[in-house]
Structure 1
């Protein structure tokens, strides 16, 4: 894991892109979202999603996203850091 915020964001973007591709989901606007305000952090922009991609993403999340499938909810995971 990189300590450079841009490198870390790029690494996460690649991992997410690859995981989505492996699941058959293509998000054409997936990109690194640079900080827009001083002190804000990088993010991952999921962008606008077409109906077919949204259906596939919904299918994947429902199949693999049951209670406890990926650990605690994001809010709980962030609070634990």
Structure 2
């Protein structure tokens, strides 16, 4: 029995009942052009927090994380 990726058509063997709506590993990774709401959410949530100092770079990062969170919310609202 084989499963087929719904985006690229890649197939692989399985020992259980094949699923119909499945993605292979490369297609399953979120990207800006593929599942953008998940991509931007993960970028915002898993960003490296810098909390030891309050420099210009730190404030730039905080602003960037806020922008990413807002982009994630906007993408989720559009779906």
The TM-score range, normalised by the shorter chain, is: 0.3 to 0.5
TM-score (norm 1): 0.33
